[in-house]
Amino acid sequence: MSQNGKHRQISQNITYYALLGLHPSASVIEIRRAYLQLSKQYHPDTTELPPTVATAKFQQINEAYATLSNPERRLSYDVKIGYSRFGVIQAPTDLNHPVRKPYDFSKSMYLDASDRPLSAGEIFALFVLGLTIVGCVLVAIAVAVIRGEPSIPTPLSQPQITHISQIPTSPEIKMIKS
């Protein structure tokens, strides 16, 4: 048997859950934590294991995480290995009509690898940013009110020029005229 064949036979007996050191009922957060810990441990650039062993183990961990982090893949994998999250599956009372619509995984507890809730620090930073923006707008309005400048210049506030002698000139010329 070749090295590849032996490797495939071993990997078929070990479930993805066992590979990550988890029970099949593990939550998404537990799966992510186990993956992060093992990926740091077996990454070919950071481990002291031989590169071929580290690369093979790292690829197995990535494959396990890719399957278990996706709700649809995880469900089909659980069926494949014979694990059911439900104790007893009962037949619907009326087999001719579906009980409900297909399950919408977008409303599930599963998180996409790039999707996560905001941390307390991030929420606080957004709050401070919002306060800063509101404060800047209020300061700009207060300065405009104190200076007596209108916020939006209107055409009526501009002097109407009807003759060339009414064109404003520099302040020194105005002082000479008066």
Q: What is the pLDDT of residues 138-174, one digit of tens each?
A: 998 888 888 886 656 565 555 566 666 656 665 555 5
CATH of domain 16-85: 1.10.287.110
Domain boundary assignment for the chain: 16-85, 116-145
Residue 68 · residue 29 · CB < 8 Å: no
168 or 63: which leads in pLDDT? 63
Q: Which two tokens stand for residue 134?
A: 């509101």
Residue from 29, 38, 3 nearest 115 by CA: 29
Segment 113-144, tens digit of pLDDT: 456 677 889 899 999 999 999 999 999 888 88
Alpha carbon separation from 39 to 15, 30, 55, 79, 176 (Å, rounded): 17, 14, 10, 26, 83
- Contacts of 31 by beta carbon, 8 Å cutoff, 6+ apart: 20, 22, 65, 68, 69
Whole-model pTM: value is: 0.43
